[in-house]
Amino acid sequence: MLRSSLILFALVSGTFLSSCGPAAEDRSTMLYRSKLVQDSIANVIRVQMNEAEAPAPNQAQVVPMPAPAAVVTHTNAAGQTHTHAPGESHNH
């Protein structure tokens, strides 16, 4: 009776001990799948950040204006002062 109890105890405890975690094959498959999920999430984040940095379609592009040309000031023979816009000229 004691012997059969020990055998029964050994079988039951062996069953519980062997089912405490996934088998090595299952663990490697689990790690592989978790790596795929991790890479997929990182890719989604990367794509969304790139889209956020890009200009939106139909968005006006800001083009810097060139510096204004200098206005020329003249004083004629009669002592009158006047200005010329850039590129404007006439005989005095």
Residue 32, pLDDT score? 92
pTM given for the model: 0.37
In a domain, 29, yes or no: yes
In a domain, 40, yes or no: yes
In a domain, 11, yes or no: no
In a domain, 30, yes or no: yes
Question: What's the CA gap between 67 and 83, in Å, rounded?
Answer: 19
Which residue segment(s) compose the domain that 27 sits in? 23-53
Q: What is the DSSP string of 3-43?
A: HHHHHHHHHHHHHHHHTSS--HHHHHHHHHHHHHHHHHHHH
Question: What's the CA gap between 32 and 42, in Å, rounded?
Answer: 15
Structural domain total, the chain: 1
In a domain, 59, yes or no: no
Residue 65, pLDDT score? 73
In a domain, 16, yes or no: no
Tell me which residue of 86, 54, 53, 52 sits closest to 72, measured CA to CA: 86
Tell me which residue of 71, 73, 89 sits closest to 81, measured CA to CA: 73
pLDDT tens, position by position, 30-78: 999 999 999 999 999 999 999 888 877 776 667 777 776 676 776 777 7
